[in-house]
Structure 1
Amino acid sequence: MWFVRLCGFAVVGLVVCLACTPVKADVVVVVATSNPVKALARNQVADIFLGKTSRFPSGGPAVPIDQTESSATRDEFYSTFTGKSASQLKAHWSKIIFTGRGQPPQAVSNSAEVKKRIAENPDSIGYIEANEVDGSVRALPLEPQ
């Protein structure tokens, strides 16, 4: 009898743990529908968002639009595209700012704001959840590196 109860508690515990596990958002890189860039490699995206370049590979200006530090989408984006955690990213920008080599991208509060900024400036590049893509932006396919 005690074994059946123990197994029951284990199953309930497993269900609770699985229900509490955060689900990774499918994050995509987006540009304006009129932007001529057709695809980018992960390292090219990382270079734009880490301030290593301010241009697309074609030579056109690239204006990154970030999301705020409290955003799970932001954490997923930087983890996927740069391999940096939130604390590593903060350290990266602290060094860049301190040495006078740049400023972090302007940050907005959510995917709707990213889409709005991209619509206002076709040279912008941002990231949003894949299910937020609509006719106002175009998801960029990733090139192999």
Structure 2
Amino acid sequence: MKKLILASLISTCSFVAFADVAVIVNPSNSNSLDKNEIKKIYLGKSKSFADGVKVNPVNQNGNSVVDEFNNKVVGKSSSQLNAYWSKLVFTGKGTPPEKLDSDQAVIDFVVSNADSIGYIDSAKVSDAVKVIATF
């Protein structure tokens, strides 16, 4: 009985309502991307949009949006992704996306840079950016 109560308590406590993550680009960007293409960009395997324009991805510093994006889109935990990028940096094969401090900082960056892509909490989306995917 104690195990059943404990299991119920743990599952109830571990249920956290995560917000959706919106992947955003500058409104002037006419490209459309699917989950796999976004994943390739954030793993450094794709360096440009479909139209040939160099892509400039931005990340966020550790928060729940980052964890959601990493899990839902990239398919890695934050620690796995940090290890992945550490290896690429050490071997000289890549540079991770710049990290910004907040959803608003990502929005401001994307608005100011036509070649950029970022992600934010979907509740923070404004008319200033174009949402290309929600996860």
TM tier relative to shorter chain: 0.7 to 0.9
- Of residues 53, 75, 80 in structure 2, which corresponds to 1:60? 53
- Per-residue deviation, residues 10-40 of structure 1 (Å, max 9, x unmatched): 6xx85x9646632222001100111121x21
The aligned counterpart of 1:89 is 81
Partner of 2:41: 48
Distance in 1 of aligned mates of 2:80 and 2:41: 17
- In structure 1, the residue matched to 2:28 is 34
Rg larger in 1 or in 2? Answer: 1
- Report the Cα distance in structure 2 between the residues aligned to 1:129 and 1:82, rounded to whole angstroms: 16
In structure 2, the partner of 1:21 is 15
Is the contact between residue 88 and residue 94 of structure 2 (CA under 8 Å) also seen in structure 1?
yes
Question: Gaps (5+ residues) in structure 2?
Answer: none
1:53 is displaced (CA, Å) by 1.6
- Write the letter of the residue equivalent to 1:27: V
What does the per-residue CA deviation read over 1:36-77, in whole Å, with 9 as the maximum and x for residues that have no partner? 21x211110011111112101221111001001x21101100
Identity value in percent? 37
Q: Which amino acid in structure 2 is aligned with residue 95 of structure 1? A: K
CA distance, structure 1, for counterparts of residue 33 and residue 99 of structure 2: 21
3-state SS, counterpart of residue 46 of structure 1: helix
Q: TM-score, normalised by structure 1?
A: 0.81
TM-score using structure 2 length = 0.86
Gaps of 5+ in 1: 1-9
- The answer for the alignment partner of 2:68 in structure 1 is 76
Runs of 4+ aligned residues of structure 1 deviating over 3 Å after TM superposition are 16-21
Alpha-carbon separation, structure 2, partners of 1:26 and 1:114:
16
CA distance in 1, matches of 2:20, 2:85: 25
Once superposed, what is the RMSD of the aligned Cα atoms?
A: 2.0
Contact 2:25 2:118 in 1 (8 A): yes
Determine if the alignment matches structure 1 residue 110 to structure 2 residue 82: no
- When the two structures are aligned, how many residues end up with a matched partner? 129
Q: Counterpart of 1:54 in structure 2: which amino acid? A: K
CA contact 2:19–2:123 (8 Å) conserved in 1: no
Judge conservation of contact 2:24–2:133 (CA < 8 Å) in 1.
Answer: no
